[in-house]
Amino acid sequence: MRRLLWLLLPVSALIADLGSKAWILRTIGEGESLPVIKGFFYLTLGFNRGAIFGSLTWLPATARYVLFALAGLAALVYFGRLFLARETPAWERFALGLILGGAMGNGIDRLYRGAVVDFLDFVFGTWHYWTFNLADSFILVGAILYGLRMILAPKVEPHKKEN
């Protein structure tokens, strides 16, 4: 039952992501920008038809669709299995829940729209960061937490039975 309660985490991340994307799609048009903090943070609607940072856009649309669908399915199976495993510690499960929620949000975008909706847009002086979304943020934070868990957690060796 407790593991089922954990499902609220990826579902909540998914709802937050899809809700924010629905809101931005109703609020501004593609390429339009709303300043939140002038000179630093904007809401700018864009569509990423490629992978991370717009890579792989040179592939034909059908090839991208198949590649992203297979990669997404593999990620959901792999991370989902770890997320639901009884022995997964809470810190790892939290990280995996963020990754799963974000992956599902971007996956739904790709399946439904053929592109991921991006709108969080930051500028640091003369440097303009790539536009991203909440799903990307959930995936990144989850990956950092998961990585920290792997680095900082003591390695547990399985007990060997003595004969």
Instruction: List the Cα angle 69/9/28 in 5-degree steps.
Output: 65
Q: Is 118 a catalytic residue?
A: yes
Token pair for 73? 């399915």
Helix (H, G, I), strand (E, B) or coil at 82: helix
Q: Is 109 a catalytic residue?
A: no
The residues pairing with 34 across neighbouring beta strands, listed in sequence order, are: 43
Catalytic residue among 17, 109, 118, 121: 118
DSSP label of 132 = B
Instruction: List the Cα angle 120/141/110 in 5-degree steps.
Output: 55
3-state percent breakdown (helix, strand, coil) of the chain, nearest 5: 60, 15, 25
What is the CB neighbour count within 10 angstroms for residue 154?
Answer: 5
Catalytic residue among 17, 109, 121, 136: 136
Helix (H, G, I), strand (E, B) or coil at 158: coil
Q: What residues act catalytically?
A: 118, 136
